[in-house]
Structure 1
Amino acid sequence: MRNFSRYLYIILFFFSFNTGFSQKGKFEIKNGDFLLNGKPFTIYSGEMHYPRVPSEYWKHRMQMMKAMGLNTVTTYVFWNYHEEAPGKWNFSGEKDLRKFIKTAQEVGLYVIIRPGPYVCAEWEFGGYPWWLQKNKNLEIRRDNKAFLQECEKYLNQLAKQIVPLQINHGGPVIMVQAENEFGSYVAQRKDISLDEHKKYSHKIKDMLLKSGITVPLFTSDGSSLFKGGSIQGALPTANGESDIEVLKKNINEYNDGQGPYMVAEYYPGWLDHWAEPFVKVSTEEVAKQTELYIKNGISFNYYMIHGGTNFGFTSGANYDKDHDIQPDITSYDYDAPINEAGGATPKYKALREIFQKINHNQLPEVPKPVKIITIPSIEFSKISSLFDITDRQKPTVNDQPLTFEDLNIGNGYMLYRRKFNKAQRGVLEIKGLRDYANIYINGIWKGELNRVFKKYDLDIDIKAGDRLEILVENMGRINYGAGIVHNLKGIISPVKIGETEISGNWEMFPLPFDQFPKHTYQHKDITDHSPVIQEAEFRLSETGDTFLDMRNFGKGIVFINGRNIGRYWSKAGPQQTLYIPGVWLKKGRNLIQIFEQIKYQHSVNSIDHPILDQLAK
């Protein structure tokens, strides 16, 4: 009996060690401190978003965080990732938020949840479902009945996932954020009163409480924007604030003159746009700021500790005075301490040394990196014009071009076609282009229009009987700023040639590419700049992560074994490769499918490293 008790103790000890912490606990904000089970606690967190990392790699990335010295993982929750269509919710498979949270607990990390409903995050539409725009009575981020009803549905669905995993129920969730960076939105939307802004943000807080959230709430804003962004009953935290005295002063003003003090987003890297240089932040700068926070007892969250990838059509876009749109690249590497493929960077190693100095115990060993492989040249045996597909579809016909939203597609492409009974010559103008288009006459390429470069017109010569085709790509909805409320895609204004508005008999062919089109690939004649779909099989004797080399291609998307791994735009850069997770490859037969808009190639290969900082010449 004594031996049985001894073995039982060993089994229970082993189980508790390998599952992190599983007892009910308490996390609170009291007397100016974060208290974990009654003792002062400093949050050393890293942000990692589960949709940007294959689920098979979640544990590895979290172990990397733990080995660096962090005690918490923070994640946004993306509303549009889970509500796939109105009322159709998915929290399974790659979208299993509970599994992500439980994995953190197993590794020994606490969890902070940032559910929005608005999240920014360089994510399509800031996390909002695109179809919210179809309701003409709804305005996002506002005290609007129709919008708040949708928010409440979302937060109630989310609560089912996270309420049972709060620390007081034995889970690792210690805090939840209310709204996100609302102060900057308030500053930009001066057409709305501060009182109305506050009514809206406090209603979001009330919804979270009503849904069953009992852990502390917090807000996250630039430290000069607390007036608009702070919410009574939620701890204000500052984004990007490096000055300790400024941090404390602003938090004190909106938190009864006391802490705790937290930087909810400290940036060890930065986001990146197509056609703009890849942004880097030095290791020395990040290490110095980290030491300053630690020395002053400041809690903080690295945004990002590990960025991952904007798979599929999930990347969003920004804009500024010089750019009508700045689409985010597919890689979300972010120059983060843990790179896109989960590897330790020099920045990671420097930070680990800092955390080891303040840790009484030896930090865990850094996990081994995922194996990297290369794939030799894959020859495309099947190539066909995209027009072969649209020619077999039945179009929607309307007097004016319709938007993506009008035709119930959120992402991808739309082909607009019109036949002309009489000649038209002059400047083709599409001021309402959203976002990128190639122009064809009778299937022959005539030029490119591009919202990124503010190019909205093109000289054109159409003869009687000609067919004009405009292939439009949605490059991601705006995710930050006041412009987020203007996010329709496709062609959203009349098309003109000269001063003449072209109306009547517009044909539209939606091409959402939610899956790659099935095709017989019998087309032989591919002209220059023709949009093509191409397909090939390749075999692997081993699997591993790899980077598809797209430098010889132009612009398009790639599917691997049925998964859309993202957009490339080699003609612009700076990203020239696409990350392929090894867990999405198979020993034996694999399938690659590419939609290329402007410069197709007969073969493709992969290399053993990413190219993320090479702008096109």
Structure 2
Amino acid sequence: MTGFRRRAAACALAAALSLAMLAAPATAAPRFAIEGDQFLLDGKPHLIRSGEMHYPRIPREFWRERLRQARAMGLNTVTTYVFWNLHEPEPGRFDFSGNLDIAAFIRTAREEGLDVIVRPGPYICTELDFGGFPAWLLRTPGLRVRSMDPRYLAAGERYLRRVHQELAPLLSTRGGPILMMQIENEYGSYGRDRDYMLTAQRQMIEAGFDVPLFTSDGPGPHYFEGGPLPDVTAVINFDGEVADAQASLEELRKFRPHGPRMVGEYWAGWFDHWGEQHHTTPPQRAASTVEWFLQNKVSFNLYMFHGGTSFGWLPGANYSREMPYQPDTTSYDYDAPVDEAGRITPKYRALREVIAQHLEAGETLPAVVESAAPTIAIPRFELNQSVALLDALPMLSQPVRAQLPRNMEALDQNYGFVLYRNTVPAKASGKLVVDEVRDYATVLCDGKPLGTLDRRFGERELDAGLKPGMRLDLLVENMGRINFGTRLDEERKGITRSVRIGDTELLDWTHYPLPLSDLSRLRYAKQSQPRSGPAFWRGEFTLDRSGNTFLDTRGWGKGHVWVNGHHLGRYWKIGPQQTLFVPAPWLRRGSNEVVVLDAEGGPASRELSGVADPIFETPASKTKPDAH
């Protein structure tokens, strides 16, 4: 090639590269960034006004309405956890469909003018069974979550990479609404392993999450020792009034002198435990604190903006010095600005009024969005068909035999009940000793209830008067794995060690796993005599219009409810929750089916009704009632 031709070819190549560079998107400043002490959105200082809501706790049909309510209150962002336990119910089997379609939830938020903060965990707490970890992790002996255990890290890495497949197009680095993401969750309340937290950060980056990352921890310098990471934005969680906000943010500033000031969770309400007080907080307390945030340019996330419901087996549990086990209620209303049924509360209006006074230039608030689903009452109806749980065992379970009692995880079961069956051996006498019950056992002898053992009170013994040759059944309910603190790794369910009668250990057990994921095989009959033990009850009611309602479970003992196949969750007469929320999309005009598993038995016929408002009846104290 001649020199002229080489120069001409070079010029042509340069021109082609120039055109390609013009055609390709220029490397622009990211849509969202953190610089110094500020968040920047499209290059301008940005104050995050966020509220938390969780897509699995809200029927998908309500997502858009709840997001519009958030925008109308003055929020510009919505925050959500990602629920690993729901997305990967068994190892390697992922589900992002229907109510678990987190990408659809985030796209809807963008359509409604909201940005998004995502908190994928893997640990998320949120009063969720096992803190959001899938229960199958506990099938591996010795596995430790939130640690450098390679088995745990491999499972978490697989999960994060799969979440990235769903969310990649929605990251702000690609023009999407996801501004930033959280590394782990409140690790400072759990441990001090810096290598683990650095690994958690690396796993998120290697999974492909290239948006700004942050850590979130509770108030107090001792929590900052384990949670925050160098060169990663740290935010703080707390509740209380303006003075508490000032003190908490000052603690954070002492620990981390530079970086944006943000409250990752401002606890605008609180959750409930069974048998304890129902929690409410004054609307003005939240409003005055949020006003202080806005006046002082502190970004915030209201936890919760809308709590919703921990349907089915979702609720977790806590523990305290006074109580070894504190199971959470089904309702996750949280005394939030939008209540469990999607209704606007006085707290919402107080917060909206404050936010409206601190909008950006040219910003206006949309009109308040009331719930389109009416809340209806349903007249009392009878559940007059039933089948005893012991009679239903062949319809629900295949027996598993083993010398020693196996825990639920060893039976490859995640949630529900296990019925343990044995025969009282010859010469055995004395108290029944179960070591240990996780979490609530109904003791039956020859089909007759003899008593209960309740983990909340550390109960392990029952003077049941057992005699040789009697059939012993222990119906043990998983009431939710502990979701906060250092006992996460200990949360295997069912019977965890042994059973004795006096000094005689019982061997050769028959187990009936009862996950209760499919009740279609149950066969009912009209019941004319009272039931003396656990039983399923069935009834129907008719509607001429659909709407939200709350099933009034007063008069029942302890159990679970399904409506048209949807598992509403747990009820328990000890309160404080006395009703179960039924979303309008789960009801239909015409006939609706209700199935109740009542663990206590009862009269020959039972009744329920639907009421327009939730009922909370607070027990007098935490002490054990005379009867459960």
Normalised by the length of structure 2, the TM-score is 0.90
Aligned to 1:564: 567
* CA-CA distance at 1:273 after TM superposition: 0.3
Structure 1 counterpart of 2:357, one-letter code: K
1:71 paired to 2:76 = yes
SS in 1 for 2:136: helix
Aligned to 2:280: 280
Aligned to 1:363: 365
Structure 2 counterpart of 1:371, one-letter code: P
- After superposition, the Cα gap between the structure-2 partners of 1:73 and 1:422, relative to the gap in structure 1 and judged at 3 Å, is same
Question: 1:261, 1:184 → 2: CA distance?
Answer: 20
Aligned to 1:215: 211
SS in 2 for 1:320: coil
Aligned to 1:259: 259
Aligned to 2:419: 415
SS in 2 for 1:228: coil
Structure 1 counterpart of 2:510, one-letter code: E
Aligned to 1:594: 596
Question: 2:394, 2:44 → 1: CA distance?
Answer: 68
Normalised by the length of structure 1, the TM-score is 0.91
Does the 8 A contact of 1:385 with 1:533 survive in 2?
A: yes
Does the 8 A contact of 2:190 with 2:485 survive in 1?
A: yes
Superposed, 1:174-253 pairs within 5 Å as 174-186=179-191, 194=192, 197-223=193-219, 224=221, 225-240=223-238, 243=244, 245-253=246-254
Question: 2:138, 2:117 → 1: CA distance?
Answer: 30
Question: 1:130, 1:352 → 2: CA distance?
Answer: 40
Aligned to 2:550: 547
Residues 208-235 of structure 1: per-residue CA shift (max 9 Å, x gap): 1111111110000024211210122321
Aligned to 1:14: none
SS in 2 for 1:387: helix
SS in 1 for 2:594: strand
- After superposition, the Cα gap between the structure-2 partners of 1:59 and 1:444, relative to the gap in structure 1 and judged at 3 Å, is same
* CA-CA distance at 1:133 after TM superposition: 1.2
Q: Name which of 515, 521, 524 aligns with 2:524.
A: 521
- After superposition, the Cα gap between the structure-2 partners of 1:269 and 1:613, relative to the gap in structure 1 and judged at 3 Å, is farther
1:512 paired to 2:515 = yes
Question: 1:522, 1:540 → 2: CA distance?
Answer: 24
Question: 2:417, 2:427 → 1: CA distance?
Answer: 28
SS in 2 for 1:606: strand
Structure 1 counterpart of 2:533, one-letter code: S
Aligned to 2:9: none
Higher mean alpha-carbon deviation, 165-174 vs 600-609, is at 600-609
Aligned to 1:377: 380
Aligned to 2:349: 349
Superposed, 1:276-315 pairs within 5 Å as 276-315=276-315
- After superposition, the Cα gap between the structure-2 partners of 1:31 and 1:233, relative to the gap in structure 1 and judged at 3 Å, is closer
Does the 8 A contact of 1:574 with 1:613 survive in 2?
A: yes
Identity %: 42
Residues 301-330 of structure 1: per-residue CA shift (max 9 Å, x gap): 011111000000000000111112100000
Question: 2:403, 2:542 → 1: CA distance?
Answer: 49
SS in 1 for 2:378: coil
Does the 8 A contact of 1:202 with 1:232 survive in 2?
A: no
- Unaligned runs of 5+ residues in structure 2 are 1-27
Q: Name which of 455, 466, 470 aligns with 1:466.
A: 470
Does the 8 A contact of 2:323 with 2:456 survive in 1?
A: yes
Does the 8 A contact of 2:482 with 2:488 survive in 1?
A: yes
Q: Compute the RMSD of aligned alpha carbons.
A: 1.8
Does the 8 A contact of 1:24 with 1:169 survive in 2?
A: no
* CA-CA distance at 1:424 after TM superposition: 3.4
* CA-CA distance at 1:599 after TM superposition: 4.1
* CA-CA distance at 1:246 after TM superposition: 4.0
- After superposition, the Cα gap between the structure-2 partners of 1:205 and 1:279, relative to the gap in structure 1 and judged at 3 Å, is same
Higher mean alpha-carbon deviation, 119-128 vs 138-147, is at 138-147
1:94 paired to 2:90 = no
Aligned to 1:438: 442
- Unaligned runs of 5+ residues in structure 1 are 1-22, 187-193
Structure 2 counterpart of 1:589, one-letter code: S
Higher mean alpha-carbon deviation, 510-519 vs 113-122, is at 510-519
Higher mean alpha-carbon deviation, 582-591 vs 542-551, is at 582-591
Higher mean alpha-carbon deviation, 406-415 vs 287-296, is at 287-296
Question: 2:249, 2:420 → 1: CA distance?
Answer: 55
Structure 1 counterpart of 2:599, one-letter code: Q
Aligned to 1:189: none
Question: 2:413, 2:590 → 1: CA distance?
Answer: 35
SS in 2 for 1:310: coil
Question: 1:234, 1:583 → 2: CA distance?
Answer: 42
* CA-CA distance at 1:285 after TM superposition: 1.4
Higher mean alpha-carbon deviation, 134-143 vs 356-365, is at 356-365
Does the 8 A contact of 1:68 with 1:352 survive in 2?
A: yes
SS in 1 for 2:511: strand
Question: 2:214, 2:138 → 1: CA distance?
Answer: 28
SS in 1 for 2:431: strand
SS in 1 for 2:463: strand
* CA-CA distance at 1:497 after TM superposition: 1.6
Aligned to 2:155: 150
Structure 1 counterpart of 2:474, one-letter code: I
Structure 2 counterpart of 1:591, one-letter code: E
Higher mean alpha-carbon deviation, 397-406 vs 457-466, is at 457-466
Structure 1 counterpart of 2:83, one-letter code: F
Aligned to 1:17: none
1:140 paired to 2:145 = yes
Does the 8 A contact of 2:385 with 2:526 survive in 1?
A: no
Q: Name which of 440, 448, 455 aligns with 2:459.
A: 455
Residues 436-471 of structure 1: per-residue CA shift (max 9 Å, x gap): 011111001100110012222110222232101110
- Tell me how many residue pairs correspond in the alignment: 583
Aligned to 1:4: none
Aligned to 2:35: 30
Aligned to 1:173: 178
Does the 8 A contact of 1:308 with 1:341 survive in 2?
A: yes
SS in 2 for 1:154: helix
SS in 1 for 2:410: coil
Does the 8 A contact of 2:387 with 2:535 survive in 1?
A: yes
Question: 1:284, 1:233 → 2: CA distance?
Answer: 36
* CA-CA distance at 1:259 after TM superposition: 2.5
* CA-CA distance at 1:140 after TM superposition: 0.6
Does the 8 A contact of 1:26 with 1:37 survive in 2?
A: yes
* CA-CA distance at 1:391 after TM superposition: 5.2
Aligned to 1:335: 335
Residues 290-310 of structure 1: per-residue CA shift (max 9 Å, x gap): 111111110010111110000
Question: 1:381, 1:271 → 2: CA distance?
Answer: 34
* CA-CA distance at 1:24 after TM superposition: 10
* CA-CA distance at 1:144 after TM superposition: 1.4
Question: 1:184, 1:502 → 2: CA distance?
Answer: 40
SS in 2 for 1:85: coil
Higher mean alpha-carbon deviation, 153-162 vs 606-615, is at 606-615
Structure 1 counterpart of 2:453, one-letter code: L
Structure 1 counterpart of 2:589, one-letter code: K
Q: Name which of 53, 61, 65 aligns with 2:66.
A: 61
SS in 1 for 2:596: strand
Question: 2:187, 2:389 → 1: CA distance?
Answer: 43
1:479 paired to 2:479 = no
